[in-house]
Amino acid sequence: MSSKANILGRLKSATIESSKNSELTPNLTSELSACSSTFGLEQFQQQLELSHAEVINLDNPNQIEAKLKSLIKDNAWKHGVWSSSTNPSRFLDVERQLSKSEILRQVDGSESKADYFHHFDFGLSFSEAAIAETGTIVLHPGTNESRSLSLIPPVHVVIVCLKQLHHNFEQFMLDFEQQGQGRPMPSNLILVSGPSKTADIQQTLAYGAHGPQRLIVITIAALED
């Protein structure tokens, strides 16, 4: 018999009046309180800052370009990699500007490991969704974005679209399941709530354990419609 059959056989023969047990375990769900978007935004930023992320608020998308320029200048970044938003119409102008930039390269799958580890000073991406309660951004690498972009370069800059601010993880999951009805899961879905960190040496917090040392989150108020 195969290992699978043996294991399943053992489990299946171990019937413990499970029907009785399942009565004891009602499927409880928490009450999902609706959150006003302004309150949510505040909470989102607060939580992110508590996790040591840097939050930049802009009034409208037109300001992104100038902001990025000053970030690049101030930090003396020489090379960056960026991925487009999955919702391009909202950021069309921004993306047009980005693609013209000399120091920025758009993800197309041709980047090597070495590029990510040694060449790029920062990665720039757009976030699909965010979660207020925990200060979390949701990344969805795939066609536009790479997994490495938000992981390997020392800095990750992410532009968050506030229209998709979920109250908590639970609500995000419910919405996600509903919207995704029937479609398979993306190969990778990542929740990020700050820069990489560790407290493994004597409970002392240090940032930049393996992933980015800095997480810069740009939010745009005008998109909140």
Partner 1 sequence: MSQHIHPQHFKQQSKVALADPQLRSSFRNAMDYLQDKRAQSFSEPGSFEQLQLRGEAIRKRCLNQLPELLEQLESSCTNNGIVVHWAEDAQQAREIVSGILAEENAKTVVKGKSMLSEEIALNEHLAALNIECLESDMGEYIVQLANEAPSHIIMPAIHKRKQEVAELFAKHIDGFEYTEDVDSLIKAAREVLRYKFEHADAGITGVNFAVAQTGTLCLVENEGNGRMTSTVPKVHIALMGIEKVVESLNDIPPLLSLLTRSATGQAITTYFNMISSPRQSEDNDGPNAVHLVLVDNGRSQAYSDERYRASLQCIRCGACMNHCPVYARVGGHSYASVYPGPIGKIISPHLLGLEATGDLVTASSLCGACESVCPVNIPIPALLRELRSDAKLPSASEQALKGQASHRSWLEESVWVIFRIIMTKPVLYRGLSFFVVRFSFLMPRLPAIWGPQRSNPKPSTKTLHQLMRERKKNS
Residues 90-129 close enough to bind partner 1 by CB under 8 A:
107-109, 111, 113-114, 117
CB nearer to partner 1: give 7 or 221. Answer: 7
Nearest in space to 75 (alpha carbons), one of 106, 100, 54: 54
State the nearest-atom distance from the C-beta of 189 to partner 1, in Å.
4
State the nearest-atom distance from the C-beta of 13 to partner 1, in Å.
7
Q: Taking contact as CB under 8 A, which single stretch among the options 54-62, 70-78, 119-127, 207-215 is the one that binds partner 1?
A: 207-215
d(CA 192, CA 189): 10
Q: Which residues inside 29-68 make contact with partner 1, applying CB under 8 A? A: 29-30, 47, 51
Interface with partner 1 (CB under 8 A), residue total 78
Which helix or strand (DSSP H or E) is residue 159 part of?
A: strand 155-160
Alpha-carbon 35 to chain mean position: 20
CB nearer to partner 1: give 34 or 201. Answer: 201
State the nearest-atom distance from the C-beta of 29 to partner 1, in Å.
8
Alpha-carbon 222 to chain mean position: 21
Which helix or strand (DSSP H or E) is residue 134 part of?
A: none
Q: C-alpha dihedral over 86, 88, 94, 100, to 10 degrees?
A: 90
